[in-house]
Amino acid sequence: MKEDPLERLDREERERKERNTDLRKVMYALIAVAALLGAALAYIWIQKSSLVKELEVEKEDLTEQIVALQSDYNSLSSDYDNINSQLDSSREEVAQLVERIKKTEATNRAQIRKYEKELGTLRSIMRNYITQIDSLNTLNHKLTADAAAARKEAAESRKANKELTQQVESLSGQVAAGSVLKARGIRLEAYNSADKVTDRSSRVVRMLTTLSLVENDLAPKGPVRVYIRVKDPGGILLTNGTQVSFNYQGSTMMASASREVDYEGKEVELSIYLNDIPAYEKGIYTVEAYTAQSFLGSAEVLLR
């Protein structure tokens, strides 16, 4: 049956209106989705900008702390060569840390956290330096005072005993015993390749013995050679390619290392390095210090 033309036109008009209605619904839906996406992107951008600003502030604060620590290191000094050498090494580490953080993006949080840990380590090292310097200065002041008191007492004693010359001569044996060199403050320390003190046996590249020849007006003046004998945990003497030996109380003894100093009766501090030992094991290492005339003392260090 053929469709009436008027009914066909009505039907087509209804279908057109339905299609327009569907298109408007789709358009409105797309507009709503676009608005939501725009709002989400705006929120994400705002959050990201806020986070970046926070990270920039955090980086600036960390940079200021490192620069302040660098200034503290530069103002720190001592009268001791060993500590000054370690200070120079630490100053270089701080300077490198300043350069690295300036070149690092604030958004690199992992690297910034690493720098924070390095800052904490360098602060701890600096506190240790300050403690060492204060302790050594206190000891030095005490030794200076003791030496001054001893010199004053010796001067008064010599003046009071001028009339006892014959008795003093009869005590020549005691005087000879008093002229023997003595030492104090003997220490044995292990150093790694960065010239820092370490107790890890696997990292040790050299050992350092430090001591002070004490003031002794009766001791002979002039060059004095001090010998050290460093033994491993098994009691084996450590020696390198340089063969060092000396006579002590009529016997020839091997030494790990030695050093000559000019002794004029005043207190003398000295350090003796032991290098070129192939490897170190865990345990207690001992050092004995001698001159050709006397045993100066011993010390030990534990390596893990």
Summarize pLDDT for 81-109 with one digit per residue, the tens.
Answer: 777 788 787 888 888 887 887 778 767 77
d(CA 48, CA 168): 90
All residues at 6 or more sequence positions from 140 whose CB lies less than 8 Å from its CB, including other chains: 79
What pLDDT does residue 262 have? 93
41 dihedral zone (left: phi>0; alpha: psi -120 to 50; beta): alpha
Reference 263, options 229, 216, 301; nearest CA is: 216
CATH superfamily of 182-303: Immunoglobulins (2.60.40.10)
**Using an 8 Å Cβ cutoff, are 94 and 116 in contact?**
no
- CB under 8 Å, gap of 24 or more: what pairs does 148-151 form? 150/215, 151/217
Q: Are 287 and 258 in contact (CB under 8 A)?
A: no
DSSP SS3 for 140: helix
Query: What span, in angstroms and rounded, lies between the C-alpha atoms of 175 and 160?
Result: 17
Identify the weakest region by mean pLDDT among 26-40, 120-134, 215-229: 26-40
- 303, 283 contact by CB (below 8 A): yes
- Beta partners for residue 227, in sequence order: 258, 290
Cα(113)–Cα(117) distance, rounded to whole angstroms? 6
**Domain extents in the chain:** 10-132, 182-303
Q: What is the pLDDT of residue 171?
A: 44
Judge contact between 285 and 231, C-beta under 8 A: yes
Structure-token pair, residue 30: 């797309």
Q: Compute the average pLDDT of residues 9-33.
A: 75
- Residue 283: what pLDDT? 96
> What is the enclosing helix (H) or strand (E) of 150?
helix 109-160
DSSP state letter for 250? T
Q: How many CB atoms lie within 10 A of CB 271?
A: 14
Higher pLDDT, 173 or 154: 154
